[in-house]
Every structure is written in C-alpha cells, then in structure tokens.
C-alpha cells in the first residue's frame, strides 16, 4: 500500500455555498482543496487516510496548536457538509531537481508512515520472533479508492463477495506441515503467555482443531480491544482467510465456511454477493455507499472487504501483485 504517491487531479467541482474551497478527485478519492489552488491535470502528492505525517514546514498548516511536534494523522473529515478523504500537496514539497513518475511512492522521502492502532500492553505479549512471512502474508488490505484499476479486475471475476470489516486486532494462527504451531500478532510471532492471541488459540483449541499445513488469518474483537466498537460480551475471533500451505493457495469464502462448519469458529459476515452482469456494471460509488451503510448495532462500522472469485477459486490481482482483495472504509466511521 502506497502511503504517499505522485498522482494527477482528475476532476474539480464546486462545493455549494463555499467560496474558498472546492472538491478535487484523485484516483477514487475526493479531497477538499483551497479554491483556485490546483487545476485538472496537475501532478500532485496525494496522501490517503490512515497515514501519519511527521510535523514539517510543508504541512505546518496541519500542526496541533497546543503541541506542534505531535504527529499528524490523516483521516476522513467533513467540511461544509462535504466528505474529504486524504490530503493533496503540491510537488514543490519534493526535490525540484528530481523527475517523479505518476504512481511513484514518495512516502519514505517525506517520512510518512501507516497509522497503526495501538494495542494495550497487557494484550501485546512477548515476541518470539518476526512474523513468518515465508509461510503467510501479513494482513493488510489495500484500499480500492487508491487502486481504482482493480475495479476492472473485479468485473472480470465470476463473483465478488463483500464482507464486514471488523475493528479489532489481527491474529494469525499457523500449523505447519510438520505440526509446528505458531501464534502471531500483526507483526510478530508470540511466546505462549497471557496475551489475547494465545488466549484465543486456547479458547478455540486451535492447535488440535487445525490440520497440518493450515493458516488462519483472523480479527480478534471484543472487551478491551480498540474500545470494543461492536459491543461484544467478552472476546471473540472471526476468521477471514484460510491458507493451505500444501499448495500455497487461499480458500474461497464458501470453502472457508465449509471448513469451519461445526468447529465453533466464526467467519466474518457476508453482506453482499455480486454476480454476472451486475458485477460488470459495478462502480466505485456502489462500494462506497455499501461501506457507508454498515453498522455495529446503531453505530457506523469500519467498512467492507471485497474479494473476487472465479469458479470458486481466489483470483490473483496483477495490479496488486497478490490476491484480489481490497477494502473500502465507511466515511462515517470514527475510531
């Protein structure tokens, strides 16, 4: 996922009742800009939501007035009743003597990092080692609005399945071909102990339940985790991916449900299944509207995850260079 990249402004539209600001569209995003500051076709630096900027001269207008050294988190806001997601900066914040290409990632140049929600110390656990990426990828969905070309890949699938995006902490459970059992947080493999990841492994007896050569990617949600936005009693685990290490393939959503049937494990909730001509006519706006409709009870949910399948098999995305799976965030969600 690119945290800051060179892009062009595709469209600029007025905002009703606003004289000083207008709306610019970049990729699938819409972002409020100062009126007259940019034109359609301008090359700019675009920074999407869920990123963190270091305080610098080029973003001084965003500094916290009480603490100018505080890192700047980019998130969706509403200005004059209009949704604004992401930030647009002029190319002048970069080296003027360097040629930059459209799509080039400049986050490392600007010191921009991904926003990662903090986990309470008592839940984190003791690291045993790095996350075993040679066995399974870390869980990090790309945003569809940053990858609008992926929409055409989705249209070529037999079906797209949308599931609810749960707001908790990512846990991965691996049982290698030789039976070695591993428990991981988002970035680390963890020692057995009182952390929430091993608690879940023991609650569901995963070491015995899982077959050799399987990896479960899941979201752990509930009491004491990210404010428990789903208002669950206790802590629960929801599986969203199963990888078969025998052939390095991922199970489809339907096969995942069949595999976990009668195990006591839950899967993330399916909210839409789009086939055939309906899929060919699908738009970015459709997925954004669907994401905005999702709720945890009466409160806005985080969003949706969309995966494409063909003949009940996962599809490889040439655009993403991995499984065809993207997210869309609910514009009304607050964390």
**CA distance from start to end of the chain:** 21
Residue range(s) occupied by CATH 2.40.50 in the chain: 5-114
313: enclosing H helix or E strand: strand 313-314
Residue range(s) occupied by CATH 3.30.470.30 in the chain: 121-329
pLDDT of residue 102: 96
Q: Half-sphere exposure of 70 toward its Cβ, with a 13 Å CA cutoff?
A: 11
**Topology at the third CATH level for domain 5-114:** OB fold (Dihydrolipoamide Acetyltransferase, E2P) (2.40.50)
Give the angle subtended at the CA of 151 by the CAs of 116 and 254, to the nearest 5°.
75
pLDDT of residue 213: 97
CA-atom Rg of the chain in angstroms: 21
Torsion angles phi and psi, residue 219, rounded to 5: -115, 130
Span 121-329 CATH architecture: 2-Layer Sandwich (3.30)
In whole angstroms, what separates CA 222 from the centre of its chain? 19
Residues of the chain with pLDDT under 70: 120-123
pLDDT of residue 227: 87
pLDDT of residue 122: 64
Q: How far apart are CA 9 and CA 30, in angstroms?
A: 10
Q: Half-sphere exposure of 167 toward its Cβ, with a 13 Å CA cutoff?
A: 23
pLDDT of residue 139: 80
pLDDT tens column, 201-229: 999 999 999 999 999 999 999 998 888 88
pLDDT of residue 93: 96
pLDDT of residue 224: 87
């Amino acid at each position: 996922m690119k945290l800051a990249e060179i892009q062009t402004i595709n469209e600029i539209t007025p905002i009703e009742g606003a004289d000083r600001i207008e709306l610019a569209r970049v990729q699938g995003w819409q972002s409020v800009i100062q009126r007259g500051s940019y034109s359609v076709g301008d090359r700019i630096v675009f920074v999407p939501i869920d990123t963190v900027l270091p305080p610098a001269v080029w973003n001084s207008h965003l500094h916290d007035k009480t603490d100018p050294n505080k890192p700047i988190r980019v998130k969706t806001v509403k200005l004059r009743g209009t949704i604004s997601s992401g930030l647009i900066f002029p190319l002048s914040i970069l080296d003027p003597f360097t040629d930059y290409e459209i799509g080039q990632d400049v986050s490392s140049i600007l010191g921009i990092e991904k926003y990662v929600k903090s986990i309470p110390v008592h839940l984190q656990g003791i690291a045993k080692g790095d996350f075993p990426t040679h066995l399974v990828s870390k869980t990090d969905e790309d945003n569809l609005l940053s990858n609008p070309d992926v929409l055409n890949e989705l249209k070529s699938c037999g079906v797209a399945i949308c599931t609810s995006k749960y707001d908790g902490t990512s846990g991965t459970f691996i049982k290698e071909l030789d039976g070695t059992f591993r428990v991981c947080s988002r970035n680390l493999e963890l020692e057995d102990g009182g952390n929430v990841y091993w608690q879940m492994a023991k609650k569901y007896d995963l070491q015995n339940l899982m077959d050799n050569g399987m990896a479960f990617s899941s979201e752990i949600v509930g009491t004491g985790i990210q404010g428990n936005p789903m208002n669950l009693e206790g802590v629960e685990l929801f599986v969203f991916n199963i990888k078969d290490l025998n052939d390095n393939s991922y199970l489809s959503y339907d096969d995942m449900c069949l595999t976990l049937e009668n195990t006591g494990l839950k899967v993330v909730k399916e909210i839409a299944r789009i086939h055939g001509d309906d899929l060919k006519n699908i738009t970015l706006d459709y997925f954004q509207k669907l994401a905005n409709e999702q709720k945890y009870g009466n409160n806005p949910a985080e969003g949706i995850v969309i995966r494409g399948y063909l003949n009940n098999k996962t599809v490889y995305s040439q655009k993403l260079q991995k499984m065809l799976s993207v997210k869309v965030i609910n514009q009304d969600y607050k964390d």
